[in-house]
Structure 1
Amino acid sequence: MHIFEWSGGYDFMAPLLPLTLGHEFAGRVIDVAGDANGLAPGALVAVIPSTPCGSCAHCLSGAAESCERRSAKGTSADGGFAPWITAPVVNCLAAPNGVDDELAALAEPLTVAQEAVLKGGVTRGDRVLVIGPGTIGQAIALYARMAEAAEVVVVGKNDLLRFETLRALGLRDLIDIGDGDLETALASRFADQKFDIIFEATGVPEVVQEGLAFLRKEGVLVVAGIHPRRAALDLTRLVRERHQIRGTQRAPRHVWPRVLDSLVTEGERIRHMITHRMPLDHGVEALELARTRRASKIILSPGV
């Protein structure tokens, strides 16, 4: 969506355009060249979009998700908004029994959310605030609940449809600030109740500073949004409160099997995140629906 809107944060793509978008996708294997790694034609796979170089300092130290020379489907190479695509066998993870095509297609954004929850260190009894009820925010809230957080509050702004999705996911503590501002809306309820962990999933830089006002001393704020401009922070307050700000983006490979397992145990609940299903050749229409918040997560299918 950020790329479609060209709202900032993806300027590195400009020299690579045009290319086919789509970094969240799954598909059926048609053919395998070389070592099949157990995959056969017809197998349903979720595809890890990033391919690390394998030789840089990050890769050699076991942090391939931080590779600075990686190739990524949908951002630096043609992506999944196509009837066919090639991908390295090692990037193709077989979907578990009971996971269908559309659930498998959710794997990539779910790994981003699961990694955010792991980065935040959510544990039993934590009070968690999620700012931003889009797909990533929805999944963060779900995985925080699965991590046994005692309280998970989600905040949005004129997000009726997404809040319906959150309710279907089992989340109940939802705050729509409407046309108001975040600090005023939260202060009326949580002035004396700070959160252990706050997740920013909006891409609005001001939210980072606003969220810190509701973080307990030594609490953690995880930034998951892609921002079009820099944020201004009260660093003196951050130091005195001993706050921690952690950035998160791609998930390490070991997170993917964990997410695929969650699609087995929570698949029908997670399916509620999908609000629309459309043919691939209606992709621009689908992106416009999502941009204007008339849809949440849309599944595009070739041949539908």
Structure 2
Amino acid sequence: MATMRAAVLTAPHRFDLREIAIPQVGPDDALIRVSRTGICGTDIHIFNGHYAADRLPLVPGHEFAGTVAATGAHVKHIEPGTTCVADVNIGCGECYWCRRNEILNCPSMTQVGIGRDGAFAEYVCVPARLVIPAPDNVPAEVLALTEPVSCVVRAARKARATFGQSVVILGAGPIGNLHVQMMRLCGAAPIIVADLSEDRCRLALEAGADAAVADPAQLKAEVLKRTGGRGADLVIESVGSPRLYALAFELIRKGGHVAFFGLTGSKDTVPVDILRTILEEN
């Protein structure tokens, strides 16, 4: 039996480096030799036992790039040796939700590295229909960002981000700064970022933000100053903090919108002023 090395999360806060069997390749599958894997905030939630704890032991890892190592008998559109990334959301392809391209709502949906073993290993197996060929001249560490970038692109589409909108991004970590770049590509302005870290604020400015605020006491005043006193057209929460979600509603203008992006704990809630939300058409 061929084996591979894998980082297996056996319990919250415990990884074991193990030799495990290389995944079996089904007739419609592709086996990918992993070149690079990112560490997502979701992986941190899983590691801490806040998410998917009932699925342990698990090989996490859903932000990855690699090379096709083998394909199943029914696979014709990709060949071994192909540089690739993969969609990690596996729906049934037949239900109401999948037919509407709302795969995350599929009752049987699972995700590579979250609901099934992922890419913190030498190899990962995925349905071949989800494999996306990638350019050979793009570094693997850049290709591994495809998954988080795709989430950011989807968020921009769902939020209907467009030219000339004022945007506040709460959090200037890797995801927050991807949002900055996405909003800049959409033509949004001004883009205001908030983070407690001065270093991350500096990176946000380098990524294209118009302003970055590290002092929470100054944030609302900065937003009002840069939006003519109205508040932001759009606020994106990219951290996963109930406190920041509540703050987001204080930063939007009348008729503005909040994009819920950062994952919270399963029991976390956010209070909403229902009357204000209705009257201000938020």
TM-score for the superposition, normalised by structure 1: 0.72
Structure-2 change in CA distance of 1:37 and 1:172 (3 Å): farther
Partner Cα separation in structure 2 for residue 165 and residue 98 of structure 1: 26
Counterpart residue number, 2:236 = 199
Structure-2 change in CA distance of 1:48 and 1:173 (3 Å): same
Question: Does 2:218 align with 1:175?
Answer: no
After TM superposition, the structure 1 = structure 2 runs for residues 90-169 of structure 1, keeping only pairs within 5 Å, are 90-160=129-199, 162-169=200-207
Partner Cα separation in structure 2 for residue 120 and residue 152 of structure 1: 15
Partner Cα separation in structure 1 for residue 218 and residue 198 of structure 2: 15
After TM superposition, the structure 1 = structure 2 runs for residues 1-304 of structure 1, keeping only pairs within 5 Å, are 1-6=44-49, 8=50, 10=51, 13-160=52-199, 162-177=200-215, 181=216, 184-191=217-224, 192-228=229-265, 229-243=268-282
Partner Cα separation in structure 2 for residue 78 and residue 153 of structure 1: 38
Structure-2 change in CA distance of 1:119 and 1:89 (3 Å): same
Would the aligned equivalents of 2:59 and 2:113 in 1 still touch at CA under 8 Å? yes
Q: Secondary structure at the match of 2:137?
A: coil
Letter aligned with residue 2 of structure 1: H
Would the aligned equivalents of 2:192 and 2:223 in 1 still touch at CA under 8 Å? no
Per-residue deviation, 1:3: 1.5
Structure 2 segments unaligned to the other structure (5+ residues): 1-43
Would the aligned equivalents of 2:241 and 2:262 in 1 still touch at CA under 8 Å? yes
The total of aligned residue pairs comes to: 233
Higher helix share: 1
Partner Cα separation in structure 1 for residue 210 and residue 161 of structure 2: 19
Per-residue deviation, 1:97: 5.0
Structure-2 change in CA distance of 1:110 and 1:37 (3 Å): farther
Counterpart residue number, 1:277 = none
Partner Cα separation in structure 2 for residue 218 and residue 174 of structure 1: 24
Letter aligned with residue 209 of structure 2: L
Per-residue deviation, 1:202: 1.4
Partner Cα separation in structure 2 for residue 88 and residue 213 of structure 1: 43
Partner Cα separation in structure 1 for residue 82 and residue 238 of structure 2: 33
Structure-2 change in CA distance of 1:50 and 1:187 (3 Å): closer
Provide the identity percentage. Answer: 27
TM-score for the superposition, normalised by structure 2: 0.77
Partner Cα separation in structure 2 for residue 185 and residue 233 of structure 1: 23
Would the aligned equivalents of 1:206 and 1:232 in 2 still touch at CA under 8 Å? no
Partner Cα separation in structure 1 for residue 137 and residue 280 of structure 2: 46
Partner Cα separation in structure 2 for residue 193 and residue 96 of structure 1: 44
Q: Secondary structure at the match of 1:87?
A: strand
Partner Cα separation in structure 1 for residue 158 and residue 194 of structure 2: 20
Would the aligned equivalents of 2:180 and 2:208 in 1 still touch at CA under 8 Å? no
Partner Cα separation in structure 1 for residue 205 and residue 220 of structure 2: 23
Partner Cα separation in structure 1 for residue 158 and residue 245 of structure 2: 16
Per-residue deviation, 1:232: 1.6
Structure-2 change in CA distance of 1:50 and 1:62 (3 Å): closer
RMSD of equivalent CA atoms: 1.8
The structure that has the greater radius of gyration is 2
Partner Cα separation in structure 1 for residue 127 and residue 172 of structure 2: 33
Letter aligned with residue 254 of structure 2: K
Partner Cα separation in structure 2 for residue 205 and residue 190 of structure 1: 20
